[in-house]
Amino acid sequence: MKFRVLVKIISRRYGFLIAAVLLFLIGFWVVRLRRPNELHWQFVEGFGIRLPMRYAIHGIDVSRHNARIDWTRVRQMEADGIRLQFVFIKATEGATLTDKQFRKNWQEAKKTMLRCGAYHFYHPTRDPLKQAQNFIRNVTLSEGDFAPVVDFEVINGQTDETIVNGLRLWLKTVEDHYGTRPIIYTNGNLYRRYVKGNLDEYPLWIADYSTKHLGSYNADQLYLWQHNQRGWVQGIRGQVDFNVFVMDEKRMPDICVD
């Protein structure tokens, strides 16, 4: 049935205004039926996982657990037309620890022109100021690098107040040093309990491996999504975490050093 005929039939029976509403609803559900999976997941054999193809900028994060990495092979790898464009590298942990592979990973990854970022694994039982200073001592950022990241994934039995106040102090200290607002990496549960409503002004990198959409997170601040822990990349032994940049590409400078 032609669309114009359908409009006339509905208008005669229900009036123009009601017809317009009905037609809008019909159109809405037609579009929904044509997009059963809004994230457009696609299995990419080279990486060994499904990727959310709505997003164009894919990357990984690594630490010493990924052992020695051949960054030239990482950068050169292409699967189904997709190449990795960024990497986050673990730099520090707690008040004194440095990832033993950080300096080598940082230097070699930057040579390949991957966009790089450094992260700190945060322990709520350690002095947040000393933890911030540990990161600052070990990480030098340049224009175009990602903003510093605090990796918040353990609570170690601390109170909500201790955790929120400690994170805020780390974030403020690091922001003052680098002149750019740090990124918070966390999972859905910790986000809802500690970050949401307390630290909403900071860019968010969420780890969520089961979601079909990202509607439960602050859309204005959600920039990065770690969607899988079991990817494969040439040049890296074993499995590796996969991420995507979920904002419009023009928003990338929002979370980078000026």
What is the CATH classification number for the domain harbouring 138? Answer: 3.20.20.80
For residue 14, the model assigns a pLDDT of 59
Say which DSSP state 48 is in.
T
For residue 38, the model assigns a pLDDT of 66
Residue 225 sits in the same domain as residue 206: yes
Say which DSSP state 97 is in.
E
**CB count, 10 Å around CB of 225?**
22
Domain carrying residue 226: 41-255
Tens-level pLDDT at each residue, the chain (258 residues) = 444 545 455 556 656 555 454 445 444 443 343 343 367 999 999 999 999 999 999 999 999 999 999 999 999 999 999 999 999 999 999 999 999 999 999 999 999 999 999 999 999 999 999 999 999 999 999 999 999 999 999 999 999 999 999 999 999 999 999 999 999 999 999 999 999 999 999 999 999 999 888 999 999 999 999 999 999 999 999 999 999 999 999 999 999 999
Residue 16 sits in the same domain as residue 49: no
Our answer to whether residue 208 is catalytic in this structure is: no
Pair 127, 95: CB distance under 8 Å: yes
Residue 121 sits in the same domain as residue 8: no
Residue 20 sits in the same domain as residue 128: no
For residue 4, the model assigns a pLDDT of 53
For residue 1, the model assigns a pLDDT of 43
Rounded to 5 degrees, φ, ψ at 117 are -140, 155
For residue 23, the model assigns a pLDDT of 44
Structurally, the chain folds into a number of domains equal to: 2
Our answer to whether residue 241 is catalytic in this structure is: no
Among residues 153, 200, 201, 220, which one is catalytic? 153
Pair 251, 221: CB distance under 8 Å: no
For residue 211, the model assigns a pLDDT of 85
Residue 105 sits in the same domain as residue 139: yes
Measured CA to CA, the distance from residue 170 to residue 193 in angstroms comes to 18
Residue 74 sits in the same domain as residue 28: no
For residue 21, the model assigns a pLDDT of 46
For residue 39, the model assigns a pLDDT of 79
The contacts found for 217-220 with CB under 8 angstroms, 24 or more apart, are: 217/188, 217/191
Residue 12 sits in the same domain as residue 104: no
Strands 86-93 vs 49-52: parallel, antiparallel or unpaired:
unpaired
